[in-house]
Amino acid sequence: MSLRWRLARAATARAATAADDRLHLAGIAREQSSHVFPKHHSFFWGELALYSFLVLVLSGTVLALHFVPATTEVVYDGSYVPLEGQHVSRAYDSALGLSFEVQGGLFVRQVHHWAALLFVASIVLHMCRNFFTGAFRKPRELTWLGGVVLLGLAIVEGYSGYSLVDDLLSGMGVRIMSGILLSVPVVGTWLHWAVFGSEFAGEEWLSRFFIAHVFLIPGLLMALIAVHLGLVWYQKHTQFPGPGAREDNVVGDRAAPGFGTRTVANGLCVVGVLAIMAGVLQINPVFLWGPFTPAAASTGAQPDWYALFLIGALRLFPRWEIALGPYTVPAPFWPALVLPLVLFALLAAYPFLERWRTGDRRSHQLLQRPRDAPGRTGLGVMALTFYLVLTVAGGDDILAITFDLSINGLRWAERIALLVLPPVAYLITSRICRGLQRRDRDALARGLRTGLLEERPEGVFVELRQPPGGVDHEGRPVPVAYDGARVAPEIATLPEDEAPR
């Protein structure tokens, strides 16, 4: 060991000892490193959301250094020849400069966009896992509410960033938002001016969107993520029933080194996959759409995936205008504003509605398998079916062109599906869950199916079963109570000494 290395090691040790003498950090670190995290693949969705958010922050910082949030009109004279001499906004001009003139700029733009889509998708998957397993139950209602707010902010953040470029596609989306705000009865005009600062399209909305996208909403997201992680750490992680798992303990890996090394590896994989996607898969090529002009429009225009349900709702809702005295409630108000607010309100209120319906006020540390809550699982699948039908409706013009279908016939089919498929999905899902419950309890009471047949003296063939709880003195299976844990597969291999000869 060299002298320089020994000196550096000694200096580090003295600094650490001095810090511990004053702040007593060693005991805290030792205690917190013993924090236990359960192991299950479904917990990865939360980590995926966290790491995609970190990628968003880093890539967004790079983009913000080069982006100009201004609607001032300039003549494009950059390196993209097809748009040379076109009148564009400074925002769109800076986006083109990022794509073609800043080294690695297009790659960073695409990393940022893919990470944004992945961020929203991972939050949705994480909340689905929490919903179907009952992780929102007492004492984690506040964690669930924070997740609902995070999802809403993530969608607003994605929309505001998508709109900043001021290309034709994003401009059409901003125009839709303008119309939605104006559809609000009584206060719609004031809401529109509060957001845009003028009639559409004005000169102030882009700078306001930029401030919200770069400073305000990311700050709220960081604060909520910090609170969310703090609650998970303080309340301990939920876990699935299994060997050794109880309501008063956590079975898994310690924070360091087990969980820490695994989650860092997951983070590196997320960054690597996003980099590969950004380098191979083109997304949002704004240079192909051209600058936004109010008189222009494009066929086949589609928003990011999380906004398709809103477009689908606007397309499927009838053109009903309701007159309330001197005021008229335009048709877009109901599908574009009321529907999303109602959906998010139901999502936030569900833990309390279920507690009121079931009367269950106990604290829960163990998760439920979806089959053990048929009603909740059916409602979740019904809500997802409702959302998927609206999402498909948001792209029905592409479907009609691709498969040479009548757009009117397709739209009526979607309206019927929106009313019929969700309740059908509920009935089918709840029946499947109850069937799986019966299968588990049958296996525990009568034994696991082996697929092996035994011929009885009377000439009847009977399938042999392997009792999970053994047999009593009369050779009958000992029933095992169902504790919520996963039951072994139906087909089991009998020990050689028990196999029929």
Model pLDDT for residues 268-304, shown as the tens digit of each residue: 999 999 999 999 999 999 999 899 888 777 777 788 9
Instruction: Give the pLDDT confidence of 176-204 residue by residue, as tens digits.
Output: 999 999 999 888 899 999 888 888 877 88
As a whole number, mean pLDDT of residues 441-460 equals 78
Task: For CA atoms 65, 71, 77, 79, give the dihedral sign.
Answer: positive
DSSP bridge partners of 36 = 254
Angle at 229 between CA 367 and CA 251, to 5 degrees: 40
The band of 266, judged by pLDDT with boundaries at 50, 70 and 90, is very high
Instruction: Please report, as a single letter, which amino acid is at residue 222.
Output: M
Asked if the peptide bond before residue 383 counts as cis, ω within 30 degrees of 0, the response is no
What is the C-alpha separation between 433 and 34, in angstroms, rounded?
A: 37
pTM: 0.90
Q: How high is the pLDDT of residue 490?
A: 57
Q: Count CB-CB contacts under 10 A for residue 302.
A: 13
191, 194, 200, 202 alpha-carbon torsion, rounded to 10°: 180
Instruction: Indicate whether 340 pLDDT > 50.
Output: yes
Residue 495 pLDDT level (bands cut at 50, 70, 90): low
Inform me whether the pLDDT recorded for 325 exceeds 90: no
| Cα–Cα distance list, 121 to 305, 329, 428 (Å) | 9, 33, 26
CA atoms within 13 A on the CB side of 159: 16
Architecture category of domain 40-347 in CATH: Up-down Bundle (1.20)
pLDDT value for 500 = 47
Element (H, E) at 261: helix 260-280
- Cβ atoms of 111 and 274 closer than 8 Å: yes
Tens-place pLDDT, residues 10-51: 788 787 777 767 666 666 666 666 677 788 888 889 999 999
Q: Which two tokens mark 309?
A: 């349900």
d(CA 67, CA 286): 14
Of 209-218, 325-334, 424-433, least confident by mean pLDDT is: 325-334
Mean pLDDT of the region 387-395: 95
- Tell which residue, 178, 220, 221, 184, has the closest CA to residue 198: 178
Does residue 412 carry a pLDDT above 90? yes
Residue 3 above 80 pLDDT? no
The pLDDT of residue 406 is 93
140: closest CA among 35, 265, 239, 24?
239
pLDDT at 123 over 90: yes
- pLDDT score for 501: 46
Mean pLDDT of 228-247: 83
Are residues 464 and 454 in contact, defined by beta-carbon separation less than 8 angstroms? Answer: yes
Which of 71-75, 195-199, 420-424 is predicted least confidently?
195-199
**Is pLDDT at 324 greater than 90 in this prediction?**
no
Token pair of 188 as six digits: 């719609």
Please state the rounded mean pLDDT for residues 195-219: 90
Q: For the chain, what percent of residues have pLDDT higher than 90?
A: 58
Q: Is the pLDDT of residue 306 over 90?
A: yes
- Position with higher pLDDT, 245 vs 139: 139
Average pLDDT, the chain: 88
pLDDT band at 338 (very low <50, low <70, confident <90, very high): very high
485 band by pLDDT with thresholds 50, 70 and 90: confident
Predicted confidence (pLDDT) at residue 312 exceeds the cutoff of 90: yes
pLDDT interval class at 423 (50, 70, 90): very high
* Higher-pLDDT residue of 365, 54: 54
Question: Tokens 């917190």 sit at which residue?
Answer: 32
Quote the pLDDT of residue 476.
73
User: pLDDT at position 339, please?
Assistant: 95
Q: Which residue has the higher pLDDT, 119 or 501?
A: 119
Angstrom distance (rounded) from CA 493 to CA 501: 15
Look at 151-165, 253-267, 450-464 and tell me which has the smallest mean pLDDT: 450-464
All structural domains of the chain with their residue ranges: 1-32, 40-347, 369-445, 447-501
Helices in 134-183 by DSSP H: which ranges?
141-164, 168-182
Mean pLDDT over 409-431 rounds to: 96
Give the mean model confidence (pLDDT) for residues 333-340.
94
Tell me if 91 sits within 8 A of 71, measured CB to CB. yes
Q: Mean pLDDT over residues 402-422, rounded?
A: 94
Q: Determine the pLDDT at residue 354.
A: 95
For the cut 50, the answer to whether the pLDDT of residue 239 exceeds it is yes
- Tell me the CA end-to-end span of the chain in Å, nearest whole number: 69
